[in-house]
Each structure stands twice: as C-alpha cells, then as structure tokens.
Amino acid sequence: MTSYPAAQPVQKYTRVAMAFHWLIAALIVWGFSLGWIMTDIPGFTPTKLRYFSWHKWIGVTVLVLALARLAWRALNPPPALPEGIHGWEKLAAHAGHAALYVLMLAIPVSGYFYTSAAGVPVVYLGVLPLPRLIAANHALAEILKPIHIYLNWVLLAAVAGHLLAVVKHQLIDRQRLLARMLPFGR
C-alpha cells in the first residue's frame, strides 16, 4: 500500500473547476431526486407539473454547465494524479471521468428529446421557450423514455464508483485525492 506523504502539498484543481464540479453534482442530485419523486405522484397535480418543470430546468442547466466545464477543462487541464496511483487505477479514473462527462451530456439531451417527442414544450425557467428538435411522436417518446431512465441509473452507478474510489484513495491509501477538489485546505 502506497501512502501519500502528509507534508507534500496536494495539486489542486482550479477554483473554477471546483465550482463546476460541486454545482453540477448538486444539480444532478436535485434533478435525480425530483425525477424519483415526481414520477410517483399520481395524476397531473400542480405539484407534479412544477416538479417536472424544475426537473427540465435542472437538466438544461446541467447540459450548459457540462459544456462550459468541458471547455474549461480543455483550456485548463486537471492536475496530474499522484505518483502512488497504479496504472490501472489511472486508466479507471480516466474512463470513469469520461463516462461521467458523456452521461452529463447524454442524460439532458435524452430528456429533451423525450420531452419533444412527447409533444411537451420546454420553457427554460418559465420564460425562454426552447426549440423542439423532434416533432411530436408517441412511438418515439415510448422509446426515449426508458433510455432517459436507464442513463440515469447508469449515472447513479458511475457516481457510486466515483465515490467509492475517492473513499478508497482517501481512507485506505491515504492519498488525499479529495483535497484536490475541495476549495479549502492545502
């Protein structure tokens, strides 16, 4: 087991990268929670409709922030992983991050396509009508709905893997990887 020397400072992500990370993470948790709750509300109550609107707004926001985050990352590469991390772990970390980025884009897009195919407009924050990219098509909506749901479950699994890796490196390997993404501490 390789340990990370306590005296060695941790190479941190930029503050902008940290802000993107934590803001998008919070929005994803909120959007997933709303999706879980809203689908269990029977009928079309005002609360259910409000939750659906919020869920869509969160999805659009995550999509825009994820695109901005990718642009930021392209211009500001993340710090290198510490030396004590094995090659297969680095490969797994890169694959996991790639999967998270793909899902941060694919889930909102699949939800947007599903909503369009269902014939429901998306009016961002209740003021900005977004264009329909797909004509209303009930058969297509029935295909896109489970895709959107499935992608969310895949995201949940990817996030769980991400968190388990952080816990392993933090508590077992003592590599202080969490400090790289926290705005406080060194």
Give 15-181's CATH code, choosing from 3.90.550, 1.20.950, 1.10.20, 1.10.3470.
1.20.950
Neighbours of 28 (CB within 10 A): 22
Q: Taking 80 as the threshold, does the pLDDT of residue 47 lie above it?
A: yes
* Residues 9-23 pLDDT 10s: 678 999 999 999 999
| Digit-coded pLDDT (tens) for 112-158 | 999 999 999 999 999 999 999 999 999 999 999 999 999 999 999 99
Strand segments, DSSP code E, in 110-175 are 123-124, 128-129
